[in-house]
Structure 1
Amino acid sequence: MTIDIEFLDLVIIIGYLLGIVALGCWVGIRKKGNTSEGKDYFLAGGSLTWPVIGLALFSTNISTIHLVSLAQEGYVNGLAYGNFEWMAPFTLIILALFFAPFYIRSKVVTLPDFLEQRYNRACRDWLAVLSIISAVFIHIGFSLYTGAVVLHGMFGMDLYLCIILTAALTGLYTIVGGLSAVVITESIQTIVLLLGACCITAIAYYQVGGWSGLTDSVDPVKLTVMRPADDPSGLPWYSVLLGYPVIGIWYWCADQTIVQRVLGAKDENHARIGPLFAGFIKIFPLFIFVLPGLMCAALIKQGKLPDELANSADTYAFMIGHLLPVGLKGIVAAALLAALMGTVSGALNSTATLFSYDLFKRWRPATEDHKLVVIGRIVTFVAMIAAIVWSPLLGRFESIFQGVNSMICYIAPPITTVFLWGVLWKGASPRAAQVTLYAGSVLGLSVFLLDWFKETTHWNVPFMMAAFYLFVVCSMMLAALSMIWKRVATPESDRLIWDNPMACLRADETTWRGIGDFRLVSAVLFLTMLGLYWLFA
């Protein structure tokens, strides 16, 4: 399906592309004197404040996968897959309370570095490799493919050309500017993304006749987020409550691509409040990404949109083409590009950081920072090429959103296990964590292959429940092996373990007071999410 793009829309799209690339490159050139130093290039010199961190977290998370695939899921399954957005604030609270303080206090550049301080070098190496794989094949690969599908639908361009073009433009300013360019462009892209998504949501909401028009035109169950076991969405309530924390803690608390923004925080308070700010923003995607798909189904039923949507994957492009006037089409198209470029740039920078600090510097520990920056730029280019080669293969998945989350479900459990119990339980030993990471990754790959070839294997375990089962197995493995290979306490690792879970709520003389108190902000976010679930459950 090709959308008619008017000249004004084309000017807006091209202007946005040129503007964001120029801004990213300008940031890199302006900081040229600093970007030869590793931490300035990879962590923005530890200068990030909470608004920038929150917006950058959201922008890196939200990609064309969300705009396109959540609309598809809304069209087919209603609000069920909004759980992936509304459960995120709970894990962002966990990041702010349990993990962010240790990340800042340990002064790590990467999360594998943190894992070495808590456990051993072998854990660091394994996590670095897994993080690079997930960045290239999940964050970048899926985003490039989904963005290319949309651009192909809008302009009729060749799919491979779309992938190469968007990757090249994003890679350019990421290579030049490092994390400073990434977070500044991400902050702007978040605003553009939200503006574009709000436009199509508002117009669809008006056309459908408001909330009453929507409720009269769709099955009431599609307006709920918690579903029974036999719901056709394949996302029963218990899989959300049991499975999401496993993938959520990995994604929001232990994935370099996401958490790198927190590692670049100005201080501990900014590192805590930034994720909580992102948690409040995560309330909106259900309404501006998932709900439009459901409204599209309602508009078709009402006869206000033609019944010619042959493929549910085209839901978002279908709405752009039939609902938006000239000019707004360009803004929404720019929002799609913003989502794509934000995720890809963040993942590219994180991949460069991981390789430079966790792999290359071990091989050559005397490498100077300015040489690490050069290595990082080369790795950014190589990762971009690898993602370009891989992304066209993702057409095999029935649903892109379910595909990306199923892959996360098989890679996350062992990582979540060693991070979560690592900060909560002093008994978790280095050798036990090492074996858990190795064995858990092999188990995850095995389950992924069972699922991939399910026509032959007849595997029918929902991917969210598979994540929970793998987490339970990995936790039992870590506990049992820690009893065999006892941990030897060291001052370095002891400072990265909470004495008890409530210790994370202790404040000190540097803690912000009043409305900036991280405990108050966490409580408000937690209660807000409980209220929303009560309304839509």
Structure 2
Amino acid sequence: MGSIDLIIVVVYLLAVVAVGCWSSLRKSRAEGGGAASEYFLAGGTLRWPMIGMALFATNISTVHVVGLAEAGFKSGLLMGNFELLAGFTLILLANFFAPLYIRSRVVTLPDFLEKRYSRPSRDVLAIVSVVSAVFVHIGFSLYTGAVVMNGIVGVDIPLLWSVVAIAALTGLYTILGGLTAVVVTESLQTIVLLAGAIVISAVAWVRAGGWEGIVAHAPETHLSLIRTADDPAGLPWYSLALGYPVIGIWYWCTDQTIVQRVLGAQDENHARIGALFAGFIKILPLFIFVLPGIACYSLVQQGAIAANKLAHTEQTYAVLVQELLPIGVKGLMGAALLAAVMSTVSGALNSIGTLVSYDILQRWRPETSDRTLVSVGRWSSFIALLLAIGWSLTLNPAGIFQSINAMITYVAPPITCVFLCGVFWRRASSVAAFATLTLGSLIGVTLFLLEKFKVAWWTEFLAAQQIDFLLVGVLLFVFCMGIMLAVSWAKPHVHTAESERLVWRTPWEPLQFQGWPGIMNYKWLTALLVASLAVVYTLLA
């Protein structure tokens, strides 16, 4: 990367930090400052475009940019399923979960669990949510951000320096500015990221010879979303059909880092439409992150890119940037990739501060002032950032995108189970929820450690039974659901007036909401999103 490109990257980073700090300072002065609701939830003022872009930006980190391009290079369109299927879980968020969150006026999702179940359930979820934010959202993002920085700059920068630089810049405006700074910068960075990704996709597409060139040089299976059990990638269609809903509902409907943007919505309409807007944007990664990886494979086969440059496949996207883009545009693309990691890290840091302040500190000290809540939230974010830096330095996954989804598999099942039953089943009890969260999380941690340290008998068992990471999640979910059903039947929930309002009487009740008139009605947009996803699957199955 030349000096012009480096200048562009540096200017962009400084601009993002400045915009984040300015937006939060402006908001603080206008509102008088100091209010915890302003810091953590932007005062409930977020409108649907900002919610949708912020959801997308928090989700799409360098884990996705780097991981999906690498997956495209190695296995074709397969991992694009995780992006497309997100549209269906965002439909669930918009139609079934978000309305209850907005109506209950909760600040955090553990807060929702307390209102629906009990305080012990809130405590367990708060702890699990903080841990997952540190290790899943921030840790992997910092690692892949450092990988991208090294690949694009073209200099072997020590991993520690790259990680610390990204963490420091992101932490500055996030910890100082709260959710207002996070969402404003996320919206800006979504535009930058999408623009940069579209440019590299178009250039890679043309250089590879268009669809005909890609088809001629890529294996036939690379161009199919749906795979059979004997596919070398090891992720057949039934694993996706059964396993993705388990991790998808956790991620998009119950994870504080993601859903916090919806909790800050101006009203129920903005919450619903914002989630659906994110669902439409989530169709794009298949074409702007996965497809460039396949194009890169084709270019290597054609000899346009030297094969030795892809000795480490996690550098797929960085190689495309270095090989295909002119001076100046490389800098813009580098800025776009750094935008991705900063968005996810900032979102996770803000959610950690919210969880610690509201679900841990205020839980034990209800009289805590807003100023103290904000202060504790900032310090919590700072400590979490330090822990995530340490964790990111231990990572060296063979397949980045699959690795993060495999880790989610061990976290998601008990939480997905408890929220699904809590929202749709009146009998689901507080005792059952606590037992499910506790036992399910302990088993999830145990299975993760068995996988992390490659314990022989466990890996041999999975290989012999052809159980991939998604099916492990399905089995854990079935176990958790068994606990939830059995304990709830033995000891049904004793509802309060508040908890009664947090369960749908029928699955169709949330669809009775009138919504906005015309094409912006959530029902029309839901139908349009389903149709769009159906078209993509029909064309690329």
TM-score bucket (shorter structure)? over 0.9
Is 1:499 matched with 2:495?
no
Name the aligned partner's letter for residue 369 of structure 1.
D
Is 1:178 matched with 2:148?
no
Aligned to 2:68: 70
Deviates more, 1:276-285 or 1:312-321: 312-321
**Which runs of structure 2 are paired with 1:18-417 in the superposition (5 Å)?**
18-33=14-29, 34=31, 35-153=33-151, 154=153, 155-308=155-308, 309-395=310-396, 397-417=397-417
* 1:394 alignment partner, SS class: coil
Retained in 1: the 8 A contact 2:142–2:166?
Answer: yes
How far does the alpha carbon of each residue in 1:26-83 deviate from its partner, in whole angstroms, 9 at most, with x for none?
1122123444101110000000000000000000000001111111110000000001
CA 1:171–1:471: 2 relative to 1, 3 Å: same
* 1:32 alignment partner, SS class: helix
Retained in 2: the 8 A contact 1:247–1:412?
Answer: yes
How far does the alpha carbon of each residue in 1:267-298 deviate from its partner, in whole angstroms, 9 at most, with x for none?
00000000100000000001100111110010
How far does the alpha carbon of each residue in 1:374-430 deviate from its partner, in whole angstroms, 9 at most, with x for none?
1111111111111111111111x2222111111100000000000011101101011
Aligned to 1:464: 470
Deviates more, 1:455-464 or 1:276-285: 455-464
How far does the alpha carbon of each residue in 1:77-106 deviate from its partner, in whole angstroms, 9 at most, with x for none?
000000110000000000001100000000
* 1:449 alignment partner, SS class: helix
Aligned to 1:531: 535
CA–CA separation in structure 1 for the residues paired with 2:452 and 2:140: 16
Deviates more, 1:84-93 or 1:299-308: 299-308
Post-superposition shift, 1:337? Answer: 0.4
CA–CA separation in structure 1 for the residues paired with 2:339 and 2:320: 18
Aligned to 2:521: 517
CA–CA separation in structure 2 for the residues paired with 1:477 and 1:431: 10
Name the aligned partner's letter for residue 370 of structure 1.
R
CA–CA separation in structure 2 for the residues paired with 1:459 and 1:356: 42
Name the aligned partner's letter for residue 17 of structure 2.
V
CA–CA separation in structure 1 for the residues paired with 2:402 and 2:217: 26
Post-superposition shift, 1:454? Answer: 3.4
Deviates more, 1:313-322 or 1:56-65: 313-322
Retained in 1: the 8 A contact 2:147–2:315?
Answer: no
Could you say what the CA RMSD is over the residues aligned between the two structures, in angstroms?
1.0
- Structure 1: unaligned runs, 5 residues or longer: none
Retained in 2: the 8 A contact 1:254–1:416?
Answer: yes
* 2:307 alignment partner, SS class: coil
Post-superposition shift, 1:469? Answer: 1.1
Retained in 2: the 8 A contact 1:29–1:176?
Answer: no
Name the aligned partner's letter for residue 381 of structure 1.
F
Retained in 2: the 8 A contact 1:137–1:387?
Answer: yes
Post-superposition shift, 1:237? Answer: 0.4
Post-superposition shift, 1:201? Answer: 0.6
* 2:386 alignment partner, SS class: helix
Post-superposition shift, 1:455? Answer: 5.0
Name the aligned partner's letter for residue 532 of structure 1.
V
Residue identity over aligned pairs, in percent, reads 55
TM-score (norm 2): 0.97
CA–CA separation in structure 2 for the residues paired with 1:17 and 1:453: 37
CA–CA separation in structure 1 for the residues paired with 2:320 and 2:531: 34
CA–CA separation in structure 2 for the residues paired with 1:356 and 1:99: 23
How far does the alpha carbon of each residue in 1:354-374 deviate from its partner, in whole angstroms, 9 at most, with x for none?
000000111211001121111
Post-superposition shift, 1:232? Answer: 1.1
Is 1:422 matched with 2:422?
yes
TM-score (norm 1): 0.97
* 1:348 alignment partner, SS class: helix
Give aligned pairs, total: 530
Name the aligned partner's letter for residue 497 of structure 2.
P
Deviates more, 1:269-278 or 1:385-394: 385-394
Question: Which of residues 474, 478, 481 is equivalent to 1:475?
Answer: 481
* 1:501 alignment partner, SS class: coil
Deviates more, 1:124-133 or 1:488-497: 488-497
Retained in 1: the 8 A contact 2:406–2:470?
Answer: yes
CA–CA separation in structure 2 for the residues paired with 1:202 and 1:96: 32
Retained in 2: the 8 A contact 1:65–1:146?
Answer: yes
Post-superposition shift, 1:159? Answer: 0.9
